[in-house]
Structure 1
Amino acid sequence: MTIHKEGYTTIALTVLFIMLLNAFVDYKFADLAWLRWAVYILSLALFVIVLQFFRNPKRTFTNGENLVICPADGKVVVIEETEEGEYFKDKRLQVSIFMSPVNVHINRNPISGVVKFFKYHPGKYLAAWNPKSSTENERTTTVVEHKNGTPILYRQIAGALARRIVWYIKEGDQVVQTEQFGFIKFGSRVDIFLPVGTKVNLQLDQVVKGGITVLAELS
């Protein structure tokens, strides 16, 4: 396992904060051993928590020309037909994956193809399970066209904890299935919009792995 590049600055700032905090406690409360040890333990816990946010575990990825692979780790919270109003402006099959703070936060391309559309939206930080988060939160929208002509839309959505969405793609790029397309710091949600009638291989509340779990099959 390695640490993702998005974590370097955050981890460095966390270490600096811990060092300053512990130095202050050692100086100010030298005679209170119980307090100093409590701060040491909490500092270690904080460091471990931040470190695991940015872990990048080694994986054997799933690939398939007609497969749609889960773009993120997490739990399936939505499988339903809905109106997609930004790009398609018609009925689509939405699958949403909720990323908790303990999940790996790397986002991976569910299919290979050409990026036909990309847009970043600044916004609010509502809880990821709030229905309005899909249209009001900070988010990105990406549409990739499969070589068979099928367009798939996927959307990174920030949540109550997430305060920064990172992306590595732009319109016109040729993307490869399971390669990284972005990162959501401290988790949140990823939505995927498929053609109505697409065979989905997931169930509600199923735990999935980004780049590994098969989400759907294209006809």
Structure 2
Amino acid sequence: MAHYPHPIIAKEGWPFLAIAVAVAAGVTWFGGWVSLPFWIIALFVLQFFRDPPREVPQGEGLVLSPADGRIVQVGPAQDTYLKRDSVKISVFMNVFNVHSNRSPVDGSVEDVWYSPGTFVNADLDKASTDNERNAVHIRTASGRDVTSVQVAGLIARRILCYVKRGDRLAAGQRYGFIRFGSRVDVYLPPGSVPKVAIGDIVKATSTVLAELPRD
């Protein structure tokens, strides 16, 4: 099972949850039943920042989903970070998905790039190039290069990434968070075999997105 320092509720959510509960409790104290909408908001905040542990599939060359959500792109694309052809798989997260981001593979962090940008709907392909984003280049022990890119969405205004060059990541390890609707793009080496299709619903860590080339 992937290691999570703050299981069940993401550490990023505690300030928001504390404020939401405090406001709801205060309105309840002074206004009784009129506090119901505030408790609904508190429940929404609670579900948004949930961060459950996940089982890590075992196998050679597996690429795990870095996020919960829906597959919106699978196919050949240019990895502009590593300047190469690649297989791109994109996961779109709506506001009801878990928003913790996990490493898709075991490996070392070779580089991290942050790019400011706009905030168009993350469901659109142009979000990959136009929106605020943070890319992490991971190299596996077998020398395969994988780029995992956190992309901000229409509502999101804060991408959080907790790794830097030289760090090591285990497959399924939590490495970042994006607040509210967003997406994660994964660029894989040519010859990688996708195991998902557009429209599939995936779970971070527990869903296998693809297999890396064997030779």
Same-fold status (TM-score > 0.5): yes
C-alpha distance in 2 between matches for 1:65 and 1:113: 13
Aligned residue in 2 for 1:59: 54
Q: Report the Cα distance in structure 1 between the residues aligned to 2:84 and 2:140, rounded to whole angstroms.
A: 19
The answer to whether the 8 Å contact 2:86/2:188 transfers is: yes
Tell me if structure 2 keeps the 8 A contact 1:63–1:178: no
Q: Percent identity?
A: 39
**Equivalent of residue 110 in structure 1, options 96, 104, 124:** 104
Q: Which structure 2 residue ranges, 5 or more long, are not aligned? A: 1-6
Question: Which residue of the partner structure matches residue 199 of structure 1?
Answer: 193
Which of structures 1 and 2 has the bigger CA Rg? Answer: 1
Amino acid at match of 1:41: L
Look up the equivalent residue of 1:159 and give its one-letter code: G
- Opposite residue 4 of structure 1, the aligned amino acid is A
Classify the secondary structure of the residue corresponding to 2:149: strand
Quote the Cα distance in structure 1 between the aligned partners of 2:97 and 2:11: 16
Instruction: Kindly indicate whether the alpha-carbon contact (under 8 Å) linking 1:107 and 1:180 is maintained by their aligned counterparts in 2.
Output: yes
Aligned pair 1:76/2:82, yes or no? no
The residue identity in structure 1 corresponding to 2:208 is: V
The letter of the residue matching 1:82 is A
| Corresponding letter in the other structure for 1:57 | P
TM-score, normalised via structure 2 length: 0.90
2:94 maps to 1:88 = no
Shift of 1:167: 1.1
1:9 aligns with 2:15: yes
RMSD of aligned residue pairs (Cα, Å): 1.7
Q: Normalising to structure 1: TM-score of the pair?
A: 0.88
Change over 3 Å in CA distance of 1:23–1:124 after alignment to 2 = farther
Q: Provide structure 1 residue ranges, at least 5 long, that are not aligned to the other structure.
A: 27-35
Shift of 1:19: 4.3
> How many residues are paired up?
207
